[in-house]
Amino acid sequence: MRTQSAVPRSTQETQEELRALLRSPLIERLFEGRQVTAIEEGGYFPDQNNPGKWVIRALRAGGIETFYDATRADDAQSGPVDELHGDERTCAERPALSSIAAAPEDCWSEACDSDSPANHRVRALQECLLADNSRAVGLMVDELHRDDAPDEWRDAIVFAAENVHFKDPEQQARVRSRLRELALQLRELSRAGTEHVVWSAMRRFSSLTPPEEANDLLEFLDRKGVVDTRMVALQCIARLFHAAPPSDPAALEPLAGRVAEYAEKFLDRDVFAGGENSSIARNALLALAALGSPKLQDCVARVNVLGRRWLSRQVRRQLQELLDSWESHRVEPEGNPAFKVVEAARATVQTAEIG
């Protein structure tokens, strides 16, 4: 396999092993239907945003490293993964592990050994997920709730939780509650790299949050502590309602009101600027649209007053993409207040002459 982006040389042999593993019967034991799950050095998957390209994801104790714009060399003995037939057809939709090197019980022992280095425990945990997914996921849930877990191991579990499927509703509730708790605790710390752990915990916590309980994200819109959680919180809100608008927008008025405050503030002509301010403004506007809030129209008016052509183009594109997503998920435009709010706002975005 070759890539156009920088892939560590140390992964090349692993990638060759992985290609063989992807065509083996063992694929039936892998993580059941996950599309993008973290992999130890060399797992590759179709890039959903770039047809014909692949994404390589590597899981290490310090987090997940992602390499985009990868290409896969043709295999003389078989077609591309997505052209395989029979049971192997699901290969492109499931993760793969780089190797199966240790006996299952040895892996369990190392994964549970608090004295073992975090990177060794991560590798062992991957093997456990392959050997007995349900048991390994249970181990992750338990380890996530340990208050005495070493920082590096706890961080690795948080990163891994973002890429593991929790089937059991009770586990989902426990993981969601714990990740929210950790995100609130860790954002107070100044330790290097903590922000990535906090943001990962927020993303997974929000993905496990029922849309009707989106107000739980409200406290992350306050800038408290060392780690700034505002941008990720806005992105999580928009993602939560990417498939469908809220069924009861009035119940989420506290959240919509706070988001509107950000949009109005950062779209003010005396505050608006490139970089972080611009990103917060655009993400706040998109989150407000996803919530179907009537306050969206006033914020679009502020975009028009700013008169920045590039901003107007991006806002119009984002609103249209949201409408397209709702339609693709069979949200009926007729009789849907949120759809009408976003549609009307998109129509009033002006093409500026300056900017």
What does the pLDDT look like over 281-323, one tens digit per residue?
999 999 999 999 999 999 999 999 999 999 999 999 999 999 9
Co-location of 209 and 295 in the same domain: no
Co-location of 259 and 308 in the same domain: yes
The DSSP output letter for 149 is -
Is 146 a member of any domain? no
Is 307 a member of any domain? yes
Count up the domains in the chain and report the number: 3
DSSP 199-233: HHHHHHHHHTS-GGGGGGGGGGGS--SSS--HHHH
Q: Which of 336, 306, 301, 308 is nearest to 322 (CA)?
A: 336
Residue 85's alpha-carbon distances to 51, 53, 81, 287, in angstroms, are 20, 20, 9, 41
Co-location of 25 and 47 in the same domain: yes
Give the residue with greater pLDDT, 130 vs 185. 185
Is 212 a member of any domain? yes
Give pLDDT, residue 125.
Answer: 87
Among 179, 212, 237, identify where a domain stops: 237
Which of 91-95, 261-265, 349-353 is predicted most confidently? 261-265
Phi and psi at residue 66, to the nearest 5°? -120, 135
What does the pLDDT look like over 234-285, one tens digit per residue?
999 999 999 999 988 899 999 999 999 999 999 999 999 878 889 999 999 9
270/267 Cα distance (integer angstroms): 8
Co-location of 260 and 247 in the same domain: yes
Is 31 a member of any domain? yes
Give the residue with greater pLDDT, 335 vs 347. 347
Co-location of 247 and 353 in the same domain: yes
348/192 Cα distance (integer angstroms): 44
Is 106 a member of any domain? no
What's the whole-number mean pLDDT along residues 129-156? 91
Co-location of 55 and 18 in the same domain: yes
Q: Whole-model pTM? A: 0.70
Give pLDDT, residue 88.
Answer: 31
Phi and psi at residue 116, to the nearest 5°? -80, 145
Co-location of 259 and 314 in the same domain: yes
Is 118 a member of any domain? no
Among 237, 262, 288, identify where a domain stops: 237
Give pLDDT, residue 176.
Answer: 97
Is 129 a member of any domain? no
Give pLDDT, residue 333.
Answer: 84
Co-location of 348 and 302 in the same domain: yes
Give pLDDT, residue 29.
Answer: 36
Is 277 a member of any domain? yes
What does the pLDDT look like over 31-69, one tens digit per residue?
333 333 333 334 555 666 666 666 665 544 444 455 555
Give pLDDT, residue 69.
Answer: 57
5/68 Cα distance (integer angstroms): 7
Co-location of 285 and 303 in the same domain: yes
Give the residue with greater pLDDT, 202 vs 37. 202
Amino acid at 289: A
With a cut of 90, say whether residue 157 has pLDDT above it. yes
Co-location of 283 and 333 in the same domain: yes
Co-location of 202 and 249 in the same domain: no
Which of 7-21, 74-88, 129-143, 197-211 is predicted most confidently? 197-211
Phi and psi at residue 53, to the nearest 5°? -105, 165
Among 93, 120, 141, identify where a domain stops: 93
Give pLDDT, residue 103.
Answer: 55
- 284 lies in which domain range? 241-355
